[in-house]
Chains A and B, each alone.
Chain A
Amino acid sequence: AQSVSQHNHHVILSEAASLELGCNYSYGGTVNLFWYVQYPGQHLQLLLKYFSGDPLVKGIKGFEAEFIKSKFSFNLRKPSVQWSDTAEYFCAVNPNDYKLSFGAGTTVTVRA
């Protein structure tokens, strides 16, 4: 079955550490890729998106993601996390402008 896989269920790290969250998908053809974030008690918010062009995309709050087509991956990175980055992060894929499918999410806890 076509799917979106996020490798880490829960990541715990200290402030100033680097963060990388893995995302792989199994859809063929053209895909639109997204990362959403859900801060505690808040609604899902768009972090960044990729449609075409430069495979390295920059989003809000210092996040970036790299699309590697050969690996069907769209990993999220941040060089130096802050306590306020504590949240749940969701990778989502929209193949051929069809419905948006989400991964299971990764909970990130940043310790001060």
Chain B
Amino acid sequence: EAEVAQSPRYKITEKSQAVAFWCDPISGHATLYWYRQILGQGPELLVQFQDESVVDDSQLPKDRFSAERLKGVDSTLKIQPAELGDSAMYLCASSLDSGGRDGYTFGSGTRLTVV
């Protein structure tokens, strides 16, 4: 079964440092999503790509977060500088179509701890 690959699995960083997460979606999936899941809460969408274009980044804290999907395949999410409140699980997902009607396929996530 095809999977969404994410790395690293775990990341511990000091506040004010930069951190980056990588995601490789399922081959052929044009739509890619980054979600943040704080402990005890459901995932919250940070950014949605359609191919290489951002279609929704309304919940992305743009003063410190950035995301790119240069070739419309894999994607990187960056935080600079990291803050204590950024500690969370960062999930990447992909779907075949922009509406996600077949459901999203999620990766295993990157658990970020900011100390």
A interface residue numbers (CB < 8 A to B): 4, 32, 34, 36, 42-46, 49, 51, 90, 92, 94, 97, 99-105
Contact A94 B100 (CB under 8 A): yes
How many interface contacts (CB-CB < 8 Å) are there between A and B? Answer: 54
Chain B residue, CB-CB nearest to A38: B106
In the complex, B75 has a CB within 8 A of chain A: no
Residues of chain B contacted by A99 (CB below 8 angstroms): 33, 45, 48, 56
Contact B101 A44 (CB under 8 A): no
Contact B45 A51 (CB under 8 A): no
Q: A-facing mask of B71-115, CB < 8 A → 1, else 0?
A: 000000000000000000001010000111111111111000000
Residues of chain A contacted by B43 (CB below 8 angstroms): 44, 90, 102
- Given contacts A43-B106, A43-B107, A44-B106, is CB(A90)–CB(B100) below 8 Å? no
Number of residues of chain B lying within 8 A (CB) of chain A: 24
Q: Which of B29-61 contact A (CB under 8 A)?
A: 33, 40-45, 48, 56
Contact A97 B42 (CB under 8 A): no
- The A interface, classified by DSSP as helix, strand, loop or mixed, is strand
Query: Could you list some 16 contacts between A and B, CB below 8 A?
Result: A32-B100, A32-B101, A34-B103, A42-B108, A43-B106, A43-B107, A43-B109, A49-B101, A49-B103, A100-B100, A102-B42, A102-B43, A102-B44, A103-B42, A104-B40, A105-B40
Residues of chain A contacted by B106 (CB below 8 angstroms): 36, 43-45
State in angstroms the CA–CA spacing of A45 and B99 once bound together: 18
State in angstroms the CA–CA spacing of A51 and B102 once bound together: 10
Residues of chain A contacted by B48 (CB below 8 angstroms): 99
